[in-house]
Amino acid sequence: MPRPITIAVMSVVLLSACASTPRTTAAEAACDGALLDIEGHRIWARKQGTGSPTVVFESGFGNDSTVWTSLEKQVREKGFQTFVYDRAGLGKSTLSPTAVYSLDNDAGILGAALERCGIQGPLVVVGHSYGGAIGLVLAEKRQEVKGLVLLDAVVPGVWGQGELEKNLVTMRSQYEEIRRQAPALAKVAIPWAEALPVTVERIDHVALPVSLPIIDVVAEAGQNSPESAAVWREAHQKFVGSNPNRTYVLAKGSSHKVMNDGEPLVLDSIVTLIGRASR
């Protein structure tokens, strides 16, 4: 997982959910900024452009779809349809008061949003950090996913037991403060943190098609300590080394936000992966 989350970081990424607006059939069909009712959530989604495959962008924990604004536009200019959305409780999407968090639920909501927007595939998923884990689970469940571009993503083995426990201690110490300072984000962040042991177990045992092409972009400076960086790097190298259809790319000098620090590299990786997925 990415570096330990602090209250300051979580507060910065919090965006106020927009007021609920009536959903119209036309807006839902177009998915041009539609609010979709999915499992009690109101999920903001937008597809744009034409062409195949559809490139699906999945944000990291605490981020909404605005982190993809520049890359999404450039991918469309290359001739491909794009899809972005805000996960429940972030950006323009609202969270169901009865929601129960799980990684599989997040992947299921993404799959439902794609269906509601009439996107059947083929799909190339670009996932940053925790969004990479969602992409892995979606690829396990849906054969229309034809390739993944992972950006300093959560892959099997990135959090051993020691790393997991260390980060849980850090996050749990901040619960009361985040409830006071950012109560809306707390409703997303705390269930996410408490589910981490189960989430990590799920990721460590994800079963992907052997033939699925993956480009794994790893940030050179994505972790906050040499010890964590070593664990992270080793996990990614093992993940890629186990399959000839996976490629490891080091984003030199990049922080965890690879899509910002290494945008040309990321765009090139997406185009390259599309070429592989189309063979």
Distance CA 63, CA 130 (A): 10
- Burial class for 117, CB neighbours closer than 10 Å (0-12, 13-18, 19+): buried
The low-confidence residues of the chain, meaning pLDDT below 50, are: 1-28
Query: C-alpha distances in angstroms, 225 versus 204, 220, 221, 255, 276?
Result: 22, 12, 9, 13, 35
Helix (H, G, I), strand (E, B) or coil at 82: strand
Domains assigned to the chain? 7-277 (3.40.50.1820)
Tens digit of pLDDT for each residue in 68-126?
Answer: 999 999 999 999 999 999 999 999 999 998 988 999 999 999 999 999 999 988 999 99
Query: C-alpha distances in angstroms, 185 versus 61, 81, 89, 170, 243?
Result: 11, 31, 7, 17, 38
Tens digit of pLDDT for each residue in 40-60?
Answer: 999 999 999 999 999 999 999
pTM higher than 0.85, yes or no?
yes
Distance CA 276, CA 279 (A): 6
Name the helix (H) or strand (E) containing 181. Answer: helix 175-181
